Amino acid sequence: MVASPPSSTTGSLPPSIEPLWCTIATVMATKAVSETTSVDIEAAAVELARGAGSLLAGHFGRALTVEYKDKAQQDPVTAADKETQAYLEEQIRRRFPDHGILGEEDDASADGERTAADFLWVLDPLDGTTNFMNGLPVYASSIGVLHRGRPLAGAVYVPWPSASSSGVVVHCRVGGGSFADGEPVSVYQTEKPRGDRLIGLPGSFGASTQVGKGLKGQPLGQLRVTGSIAYELAMTALGVMQFAVIGAPRMWDMLGGAVAVQEAGGTVMTRLSGRKQWHPLDSLVPTWDERPPTMAELRKWVAPLVAANPTLAPLIAHNLHNRRRPFRRMYRGVKKALSASK
């Protein structure tokens, strides 16, 4: 059992202490996993991510078979996605037969009521498919590993021009630091957003979000909308982006990159379902110990994220507010008035 955080007179931790405590709690929780096991899992994740990157590089720039998951044809899946996931799943099952796998391209109808395994590999074989199929080398292959709902390790392949091969693997395990092909990396350090540094925001950010008084009147940074959540989180871990705001990622989009940010000295703020306040990411499924989730439930997991250094992440998160929609408010007012007149 993980110790409860010390309480303050206000009943919650000071903002400066809360990210630190969540990091300590995560490390304590993963103590149940031996160091040898963690090292082996990270090493395997790195090897598999590199293999996935090689497969994707072989497909890049060539004709691809494309299918769509939606009628609007905005959510594509290519032969490269499927081949890469098949490779990852085959390797994981061979090396870790008792571990579970949750992949974006899985057949969701096969999930049923199957309970998730304690060790769960969460895969996005190709995040940024639309970029990939259009010849834009901004994509990622993401591997994240959970142990009973808590991040344990991650490896994210991204194309990188200075790498000896076609790309670089950003990898980590909890308590072991974050690396890019073996070289230590760290998040960008700044107390406030810098106007000359890169930031990642959702394409809908301006229409759906307004900033609070803690950020008003100052530049947030140079906006980049990359089309790949895993890529943006990897860039944040590398210090290329000073922060990234992710609107509604699925578990496979964010896990590998999120733990890489945390191990690069950063903080990932989130707001899990049922919680109104932003808080540092610890367990993705806090109720796992009481009732392990089904695979179908994990496939529905979604939560917003803010990733940055431990000072900047809470500042950004606590100053993001949903923009009020006047038409929706007007509609509710009219509906209320009509109900009252009956």
Strand 209-211 and strand 267-270: pairing?
unpaired
How many other C-beta atoms can be found within 10 angstroms of the C-beta atom of residue 114?
A: 11
In a domain, 84, yes or no: yes
CATH value at residue 212:
3.30.540.10
CA distance 93 to 234: 26
Structure tokens, 135? 């010849």
Q: Look up tokens 């990157």; give the residue.
A: 53
The 3-state DSSP class for residue 264 equals: coil
Identify residue 191 by its one-letter amino acid code.
E
Q: In terms of residues, how long is the chain? A: 342
Task: Write out pLDDT tens, residues 203-242.
Answer: 877 667 788 888 888 889 999 999 999 999 999 999 999 9
pLDDT of residue 10: 39
pLDDT of residue 225: 94
Of 156-160, 268-272, 295-299, 334-338, give the lowest mean pLDDT range.
Answer: 334-338
* pLDDT above 90: percentage of residues in the chain: 67
CA distance 223 to 274: 30
Domain range holding 252?
Answer: 18-326
More confident call, 323 vs 148? 148
Task: Write out pLDDT tens, residues 89-111.
Answer: 999 999 999 999 999 987 776 77
pLDDT of residue 330: 47
Cβ within 8 Å of residue 253, ≥6 positions away: 104, 124, 127, 142, 229, 230, 246
Average pLDDT over residues 111-119: 89
Average pLDDT over residues 320-330: 63
At 334, the pLDDT band (50, 70, 90 cuts) reads low
CA distance 251 to 254: 6
CA distance 189 to 309: 6
In a domain, 342, yes or no: no
Strand 119-127 and strand 100-103: pairing?
parallel
In a domain, 5, yes or no: no
168, 158 contact by CB (below 8 A): yes
Average pLDDT over residues 1-11: 42
Domain count along the chain: 1
Q: Look up tokens 């081949």; give the residue.
A: 83
Task: Write out pLDDT tens, residues 10-56.
Answer: 344 555 555 554 554 555 444 578 999 999 999 999 999 999 999 99
pLDDT of residue 1: 40
Task: Write out pLDDT tens, residues 53-83.
Answer: 999 999 999 988 888 887 777 778 899 999 9
Strand 209-211 and strand 320-322: pairing?
antiparallel
CA distances, 247 to each of 9, 165, 244, 303, 305 (Å):
33, 32, 10, 7, 7
In a domain, 2, yes or no: no
CA distance 52 to 40: 18
pLDDT of residue 5: 46
Cβ within 8 Å of residue 122, ≥6 positions away: 102, 103, 143, 144, 145, 146, 251, 252, 255, 256
In a domain, 334, yes or no: no
Output the pTM of the full model: 0.84
CA distance 336 to 270: 34
Max CA pair span of the chain: 73
CA distance 233 to 46: 17
Identify residue 162 by its one-letter amino acid code.
S
236, 185 contact by CB (below 8 A): no
In which element (H, E) is residue 252 found?
Answer: helix 251-263
Q: Per-residue pLDDT for 327 more than 70?
A: no
197, 274 contact by CB (below 8 A): no
Taken in order 178, 179, 182, 184, is the CA torsion positive or negative? negative
In a domain, 332, yes or no: no
Average pLDDT over residues 267-275: 93
Residue 64's Cβ-count burial label (10 Å; 0-12, 13-18, 19+) is middle
Residue 297's Cβ-count burial label (10 Å; 0-12, 13-18, 19+) is middle
Q: What phi and psi values does residue 253 have, to the nearest 5 degrees? A: -70, -35
pLDDT of residue 194: 96
Identify residue 327 by its one-letter amino acid code.
F
Structure tokens, 236? 């944040």
In a domain, 7, yes or no: no
* pLDDT above 70: percentage of residues in the chain: 84
